[in-house]
Amino acid sequence: MNYLDSLYWIHERTKFGIKPGVKRMEWMLERLNNPQFNINGIHVGGTNGKGSTVSYLRSALVDNGYEVGTFTSPFIETFNERISLNGIPISDDEIVELVQKVRPVSEAMETETELGTATEFEIITTMMFLYFGEIHPVDFVVIEAGLGIKNDSTNVFKPILSILTSIGLDHTDILGDTYVDIAKDKGAIIKPETPIIYAVKNEEALKIIRDFVEQQHAEGIELDRDISVISEDDEFTYRYKDYELETLLLNMAGEHQKENAALAITALIELNESGIIDLDFNKMIDGIESVSWTGRIEQVKDSPLMIIDGAHNVESIEALIDTLKRYYHVEKMDVLFSAIKGKPINAMVDQLKTLATTFYITDFDFPKALSKEVISDEVKFDEKALVDDYVSFIESYNGEGLVITGSLYFISEVKSKVNFN
């Protein structure tokens, strides 16, 4: 089996859809001698902000001399980046080796149990635990949760610390359609007597999370109560306990990124205070300030201004618009939008209409992608147009400015197909 065969087998699992629950994960990992219990893992969950928070942690730890594995999703430019070592995707040969070890276990589960077939995400998550728990042990593994927490494939290890970046209305068809429902699911990231750092704005959701913290006798560290972020134009000041870090300046634009960075800084301080790491604060700051995250409010062209962003729910669309206004001083832009099933399209579109000069709608090659006609039905806007060939449209665009958004999967395909030069 070569690399392409391995990828084909992994991607073929998508036809089995999403199956909430961890029983299949636990069965496969037990067959593999439970490598998930061999790692020093940090669990990062939340509706938005997971990927950048993982990157801040990884960069700061690597700059402090630690070897760090990360698990993120979805990938933007190459599949291998989902499992990365010190920010570098693992090799094609390592993917093949992992598939050769995991595939027989997955097939044995199908024939020997009533648990059914493993999904794509379950396979990839198993590969990650096997890689960092047995094949290439590292100092720390920073693990981004997939969908929710309670029944997510990543929720099978014992973290040394957890971070909950946000709670918003996303995946409501699976997690529930209220903040309380989603908080009850994501609250499962809180483990007994384990530090949990969280940023939850909705009052109902915040009460649920505080209740979980109390029930689990966990150390709860809360943004805006224990952690302060004081924004000063592009820079910000961070305060926690007796710590104050001034004039922090991120590569990543957006007020939400300052909060994500603050969560990561707090996690690093907690690990330092507990003696798990030996933290050089200057190296930590350098590492965090240097982070860039492809596909997240990424300027890909200067003239005309062109920005891509994987905003895929209402909260991330709001953050995108706020950042465009605050950092790029843009009030109006053309919008190119595409999305996948299960998203609050109507609410996302309502937000983007406040930005759009012309609302362009397209579709892309992905199993759950919505057709442009279906999306168009949700766009009640006079200046709208359907785009059949988004690659040609983007490459020949010569308007005042274009933001391309709606789905990380869409942005991944755009990055792979469009020449922005």
30, 14 in Cβ contact below 8 A?
A: no
Give the H/E segment covering residue 53.
Answer: helix 50-63
What is the predicted pLDDT for the residue at 74? 82
Q: How confident is the model at residue 15 (pLDDT cuts 50, 70, 90)?
A: low
What is the predicted pLDDT for the residue at 124? 96
pLDDT average, residue stretch 331-359: 91
What is the predicted pLDDT for the residue at 56? 97
Q: Other C-beta atoms within 10 Å of 278: how many?
A: 10
- pLDDT over threshold 60, residue 322: yes
Q: How confident is the model at residue 386 (pLDDT cuts 50, 70, 90)?
A: very high
Q: How confident is the model at residue 342 (pLDDT cuts 50, 70, 90)?
A: confident
Q: SS3 string of 281-335?
A: HHHHHHHHHCCCCCCCCEEEECCCEEEECCCCCHHHHHHHHHHHHHHCCCCCEEE
Nearest alpha-carbon partner for 52 in 289, 329, 312: 289
pLDDT average, residue stretch 354-370: 92
What is the predicted pLDDT for the residue at 17? 66
Taking the C-alpha atoms of residue 154 and residue 44, their distance in angstroms, rounded to an integer, is: 10
Q: Which residues on adjacent β-strands are paired with residue 307? A: 299, 403
Q: How confident is the model at residue 337 (pLDDT cuts 50, 70, 90)?
A: very high
- pLDDT over threshold 90, residue 326: no
**104 CB contacts (<8 Å, ≥6 apart)?**
none
What is the predicted pLDDT for the residue at 169? 66
Digit-coded pLDDT (tens) for 170-212? 555 566 568 888 899 899 999 999 999 999 988 999 999 999 9
At 32 the three-state DSSP class reads coil
What is the predicted pLDDT for the residue at 176? 56
> Which residue is it, tokens 């949760």?
145
- pLDDT over threshold 80, residue 256: yes
CA angle centred on 301, ends 300 and 303, rounded to 5° = 165
pLDDT average, residue stretch 308-316: 88
133, 36 in Cβ contact below 8 A?
A: yes
Report which of residues 177 and 296 the model is more confident about: 296
403, 324 in Cβ contact below 8 A?
A: yes
- pLDDT over threshold 80, residue 14: no
What is the predicted pLDDT for the residue at 84? 97
**107 CB contacts (<8 Å, ≥6 apart)?**
none
The single-letter code of the amino acid at 177 is D
What is the predicted pLDDT for the residue at 233? 85
- pLDDT over threshold 90, residue 305: yes
Taking the C-alpha atoms of residue 376 and residue 164, their distance in angstroms, rounded to an integer, is: 34
Digit-coded pLDDT (tens) for 195-254? 999 999 889 999 999 999 999 999 999 999 999 999 998 899 999 999 999 999 998 888
127, 27 in Cβ contact below 8 A?
A: no
pLDDT average, residue stretch 270-274: 97
- pLDDT over threshold 90, residue 39: yes
DSSP 278: -
Distances from the Cα of 132 to the Cα of 36, 51, 84, 125, angstroms:
8, 19, 10, 11
- pLDDT over threshold 60, residue 292: yes
On average, the pLDDT of the chain sits at 92
What is the predicted pLDDT for the residue at 420? 86
Query: Helix (H) and strand (E) counts for the chain?
Result: 15, 17
> Which residue is it, tokens 């039905």?
377
* Domains in the chain: ranges and CATH: 3-289 (3.40.1190.10), 298-417 (3.90.190.20)
User: Percentage of the chain with pLDDT > 70?
Assistant: 97
Q: Is 225 left (phi over 0), alpha (psi -120 to 50) or beta?
A: alpha
Alpha helix locations (H) across 64-202? Answer: 92-112, 120-130, 172-175, 179-186
The single-letter code of the amino acid at 281 is F
DSSP 381: -
The single-letter code of the amino acid at 239 is R
